[in-house]
Amino acid sequence: MKVSQNFQNIDIFGTNICIAYNKRENFNTRQGGFITLALIVILVMQIVNLISIQITHSQVQVIQEIRNKPNQNQFNLTAGNISFMVGITSIYYNQFIDPTVFNLTVKQITQQKLQNQTTGKYYTKQTVNNLRLERCTDDHFKIQQTKQLYLQQDLKNFLCISQDEQLQLQGINNSEVFQQIEIEVSSCTGNSCADPAYIAKKLNSCYFQVYFTDKNVKTADLENPFIPIG
C-alpha cells in the first residue's frame, strides 16, 4: 500500500479535478507514477551518456572521402604568380639571418608512382632538390596587388627562393605525381657555428615566419574573380 501511494505522489499525469480528492488537487494513479519514474530514469541515463561522450569522445566519427585524380596538372610557381619569403624573428620582432645559429633550407620534393614491368607492382620514386635561397630584394615581388605588403618588411633579413630556380606544385599524396615544398629550420652544427648555449638561447626565443600570396575569389567580378592577397 505504501509503494502504491509513493507512485501516486510522483505522478505528473494527474487529471485536474474541480474538487479535492483526499485533500489533493490532482487525481494521481499508480500507473502514472510508474511512467513518471521511468521517464526520470531515462532522462538521467541520457544526461549521463552525453556527459560521458563529451569526456571520452567515444562516439566521435570522422567522415572523409578522397577522390584521386591520377593526372593532375602541374602548377609552375614564378615571381609573377606567387610571392614567397621566409625568416626568423626574435621575440622582439627583429628579423635576423645568422648562419652561425641556424640553417634554413627549402626543398622541392617530387614523388612518382611507377610500375615495375616485371612484377606489375607499383613503387614510389622520390627525388629531392635543394632550392637556392638568397636575401630578398624588390625584384622578388612582382604581383602589384600585394607588393607593398612585402616591401614594408625588413627584406634584407628575409630569404627568398632564387628566381633562377624552377618550382612546381602538383597533385596530392596519393597521386601518380606529387610535388611539394618542404621548409626546414635546423640549428647550426660544426666548427664554424656559435656556442651551443648561445644557439639554444636564440632558437628557443624566436619565431619562424612565412609570407606568401594566396587567392581570394570575388564572385561579383566575372572578368577577374581571383584577387591576390598577402
Most confident of 61-75, 131-145, 162-176, 214-228: 131-145
- What is the reported pLDDT for 14? 67
Looking at the structure, tell me whether residues 43 and 80 fall in a common domain. no
Q: What is the pLDDT of residues 99-141, one digit of tens each?
A: 999 999 999 999 988 888 888 888 889 999 999 999 999 999 9
- Judge whether 124 lies within some domain: no
For 211-229, letters b (16+ CB in 10 Å) and e give bebeeeeeeeeeeeeeebe
Residue type present at position 77: L
Same domain, 140 and 201: yes
The answer to whether residue 171 is domain-embedded is no
Domain check: are 190 and 221 in the same one?
Answer: yes
Same domain, 44 and 85: no
For residues 29 and 138, state if they share a domain.
no
Check whether residue 92 and residue 191 sit in a common domain: yes
- Structural domain count of the chain: 2
Residues 144 and 202 in one domain: yes
Q: Which residues contact 137 (CB under 8 A, 6 or more apart)?
A: 155, 160
Q: What is the pLDDT of residues 82-108, one digit of tens each?
A: 888 999 998 888 899 999 999 999 999
Q: Are residues 44 and 16 in the same domain?
A: yes
12: in domain: yes
Same domain, 51 and 80: no
Q: 200: domain range?
A: 76-103+132-165+184-229
Whether pTM > 0.85 for this model: the answer is no
